[in-house]
Amino acid sequence: MKAAVLSAGRVTVEDVAEPSPRPGEVVVKPLACGICGSDLHAKDHAPHLCDLLDRAGFRGFMNPDRPVIMGHEFCAEVLETGQGLQAGARVVSPPFLYGPDGIVLLGYSNSYPGAFAERMLLSAAACMTVPDEVSADMAALTEPLAVAVHAVAEAGADADSAFCVFGCGPVGLFVIARLKALGLGPVVAIEPDAARAAMAERMGADAVMVPGDPSLPAWWLDQGLAQGLSDAMAIDPATRKRSRAVLFDCVGKPGMLMALGQAAPVGATIVVVGNCMETDRIEPAFLLQKSLTLRFVFAYTDAEFREAFRMICADPGRLAPMITTRVKLDGINDAFSALTGGGGAVKALVYPT
């Protein structure tokens, strides 16, 4: 079968062996698969990424010195009836399998192919059938949306909160969409790219600003929240529209934690979703003086994946504008380039078959 293989920092389309299912596994044909920011990191910084996961204690991650078939945001078609699934059914699934040596993360395994291939294996028990009215494109957004569902849940987001989302790539846009699906807000989005800023508005952001916009402090004050200690102590609690600020770091670059600390109102929670791959410096005493909470979040639970799937099925077209790039397997490098080129691309889908 054909697959896009990552090896030594290069992605090439090659002929590889068909996967052979073990008990409990089903062979599927990937129909659509998104490119994740982690895929961009893996392509350019595989040894570092693998070292991080190894130090964090995950034993099912790939060996960067061996080839890997990426792709973990997918919708696929079941090829044979059995194990409670019908041939021809379209399914989504969390990208995890129980391999011979433990849990495997599909898309980052040297032994199991990810969805940038004509065939892959899934756990039959984990598969969820996609309704007819939901396209494969939309279903493939379930996995990245689950990341946002988890981030919003871990933030403790509620109706008494005001929100600021820094970075309107896919993760930030999914966070905005999730907040709005829950009826929460107001939400201000911070994004320098004009196309992504416009997308933030389409996803429901109540205000959109560029980094360093001088009107952000006034926006917070309008909610009854202040960035400075003296101003915060002077606010009459009875005048507050919201009593808590939640900021989402969806950028993942050095300096962002302190930048958000500066921009955050006193007592805010900063939820770190962006995956910064470099050592960063913070000034703990500054964050302490403002009583800020840092909350780092990763992935999602099975229940949160199911909730993301339910959200997509409830409004199949809601997230459609986010898909800005579509390529076949042989165009995967063009899609990688579009996402890293700064041209306003948001979400890229690959069609392996």
Interatomic CA distance for residues 196 and 346, integer angstroms: 7
pLDDT over 70 percentage in the chain? 100
CA-based end-to-end distance of the chain: 10
Q: Using alpha carbons, select from 270, 256, 287 the residue that is nearest to residue 155.
A: 270
Residue 279, both tokens = 């050592």
Q: What is the mean pLDDT of residues 185-192?
A: 97
Integer angstrom CA distances of residue 33 from 3, 56, 351: 12, 27, 7
CA dihedral 286, 288, 293, 295 (to 10 degrees): 70
Q: Using alpha carbons, select from 283, 292, 284 the residue that is nearest to residue 229.
A: 292
- With 90 as the cut, is the pLDDT of residue 95 above it? yes
pLDDT in the model for residue 225: 96
* 8 A C-beta contact, residue 315 and residue 131: no
To the nearest 10 degrees (0 to 180), the angle between helices 194-202 and 170-181 is 20
Encode pLDDT of 97-149 as tens digits.
987 778 899 999 999 999 999 999 999 999 999 999 999 999 999 999 999 99
pLDDT in the model for residue 5: 96
Phi (first) and psi of residue 167, to 5 degrees: 100, 115
pLDDT in the model for residue 238: 86
Q: What is the mean pLDDT of residues 77-96?
A: 96
Encode pLDDT of 308-350 as tens digits.
999 999 999 999 999 999 999 999 999 999 898 777 889 999 9
DSSP-assigned letters across all residues of 96-165: EEEETTEEEETTS-SSS--SSBS-EEEEGGG-EEPPTTS-HHHHTTHHHHHHHHHHHHHTT--TTEEEEE
Kindly give, in sequence order, each residue whose CB lies less than 8 Å from that of residue 283, ignoring residues fewer than 6 positions away: 258, 261
Taking the CA of residue 52 as centre, how many other CA atoms within 13 Å lie in the half-sphere pointing to its CB? 12
10-15/2-7 β-pairing: antiparallel
Q: Using alpha carbons, select from 78, 239, 89, 75 the residue that is nearest to residue 144.
A: 75
Q: What is the mean pLDDT of residues 76-91?
A: 95
- The pTM for the full model equals 0.95
